[in-house]
Chains A and B, each alone.
Chain A
Amino acid sequence: MAKYSSKDVGFMLLGSYSVLAAVSSIEDSVTLKLNETYSLGEADESFWSGGAKQTEIVQEGWYDDAVGNLHQAMTDLSTVELPMTIAIHGNAINMPASPVAGTEIDIYQSVQRVGYTVQMATSEVTKAQARYGIWYGKKRGKLVAPLATRSTAANLDADDAKCAVAQPAGTNGGAAVLHITGLTGTPTNVTITLRHSVDGVTYTDKQAFTAFTPANVLTGVASQYMTFTGQINSWVSASWAYTGGTAPTVTFAVGVYVAP
């Protein structure tokens, strides 16, 4: 079991929701399930493990009740499963700066909202406990695109300060996670593409995420855990492009997990 202080967390995203509270604790626990194997007449209890693990996250603290935050995400306990990403080392790439190995993040492929207990509420904040059921466990990934608002369609790798490193490279595929928390300017949709490079000079498109609409963001589902196969290179980045819209902007974060 590990506990992290909220001050160290850059973001905590569930689908399109920002569920990081102003003051909170985040408890992440993994339990190995044991089954009894002793039978009637045996003197001592014995147990057997099939290897199945149960992962849960419990988050407790003070939450803003603004649109797109935890209170909206949890109040009706939607049964829609969403990916969750926690930037445990902050919302900046290449942290720590030395050795450069990419900013670690926790990626949860499929999260179910299973409990929400409101303890008290003031005018704009709510004290509550949120509980998440986790499918497929947790993967330790790297931050590719910090959560930030971008305007004109572009490539993150055109700027050193925004280009991520995911080390080591892999040949067994992996997964990338996308969270879009804002989409303005009424574009028909926005497409984010995962890109990579062996040398940090030429970046090729690896795989595009599903295109998302402003309505997807409003309903909290503009996010995707996208698996990919084959080679993923050390330098990993992202690009974004809109269909239609007037001076559109998009707020998103991307992470990558390289399979061992």
Chain B
Amino acid sequence: MPKSYRALVGFSCPADPESLKKWKAGKKDQAKLMVVKKGDKVEPFNEDILKSWLANDAVEEVKSNG
């Protein structure tokens, strides 16, 4: 089961793997953007975007009690 994360602050980033590739290639105008509000729950679409979220202190993991 994929881990879930909560936004610690409002943030934005590429919305999917293809957009991330385009973003890194300097084609931001062709990339879809994902805008997240503080407190929203989000799931990373791949490891690279999760690393970026964590590096920017944008999210924290949501721990379940089960």
Q: Is A158 an interface position by the 8 A CB rule?
A: yes
Residues B12 and A157 in contact, CB atoms below 8 Å apart: yes
Give chain B residues whose Cβ lies under 8 Å from the Cβ of A205.
9-11, 38
Measured CA separation A90–B14 after assembly (Å): 30
Q: Quote the shortest CB–CB distance from A200 to chain B (angstroms).
A: 8
Q: Chain A's interface: helix, strand, loop or mixed, by majority?
A: mixed
Interface size class of A (residues with CB under 8 A): 10 to 19
Contact with A along B1-45 (1 / 0, CB 8 A): 000000001111110000010011010110101010010000000
Q: Which of A37-96 contact B (CB under 8 A)?
A: none
Interface size class of B (residues with CB under 8 A): 20 to 34
Give chain A residues whose Cβ lies under 8 Å from the Cβ of B13.
201-203
Measured CA separation A163–B9 after assembly (Å): 20
Measured CA separation A197–B55 after assembly (Å): 9
Q: Quote the shortest CB–CB distance from B12 to chain A (angstroms).
A: 5
Give chain A residues whose Cβ lies under 8 Å from the Cβ of B14.
201
Q: Chain B's interface: helix, strand, loop or mixed, by majority?
A: mixed
Q: Quote the shortest CB–CB distance from A151 to chain B (angstroms).
A: 16
Measured CA separation A157–B57 after assembly (Å): 18
Measured CA separation A205–B9 after assembly (Å): 6
**Most chain B CB within a 10 A radius of its CB, from A155, A157, A159, A204:** A204
Residues A198 and B28 in contact, CB atoms below 8 Å apart: no
Give chain B residues whose Cβ lies under 8 Å from the Cβ of A124.
none
Measured CA separation A157–B53 after assembly (Å): 15
Residue from A158, A159, A163, A199 in contact with B52 in the complex, judged by beta carbons closer than 8 Å: A199
Measured CA separation A201–B31 after assembly (Å): 11
Give chain B residues whose Cβ lies under 8 Å from the Cβ of A193.
10
Q: Quote the shortest CB–CB distance from A176 to chain B (angstroms).
A: 16
Q: Quote the shortest CB–CB distance from B28 to chain A (angstroms).
A: 5
Residues B28 and A199 in contact, CB atoms below 8 Å apart: no
Give chain A residues whose Cβ lies under 8 Å from the Cβ of B65.
none
Residues A158 and B56 in contact, CB atoms below 8 Å apart: no
Residues B35 and A155 in contact, CB atoms below 8 Å apart: yes
Q: Is A160 an interface position by the 8 A CB rule?
A: yes
Q: Is A233 an interface position by the 8 A CB rule?
A: yes
Q: Quote the shortest CB–CB distance from B39 to chain A (angstroms).
A: 12
Measured CA separation A9–B28 after assembly (Å): 29
Contact with B along A241-258 (1 / 0, CB 8 A): 000000000000000000
Residues B28 and A159 in contact, CB atoms below 8 Å apart: yes
Q: Quote the shortest CB–CB distance from A97 to chain B (angstroms).
A: 14
Measured CA separation A55–B11 after assembly (Å): 39
Q: Which residue of chain B has its CB nearest to the CB of A206?
A: B9
Residue from A159, A198, A239 in contact with B56 in the complex, judged by beta carbons closer than 8 Å: A198
5 contacts between A and B (CB under 8 A): A158-B12, A158-B28, A198-B56, A201-B23, A204-B11
Which residues does B use to contact A, with CB under 8 Å?
Answer: 9-14, 20, 23-24, 26, 28-29, 31, 33, 35, 38, 49, 52-53, 55-58
Given A160-B28, A201-B49: 7 more A-B contacts, CB < 8 Å? A159-B29, A193-B10, A198-B55, A199-B55, A201-B14, A202-B52, A204-B11
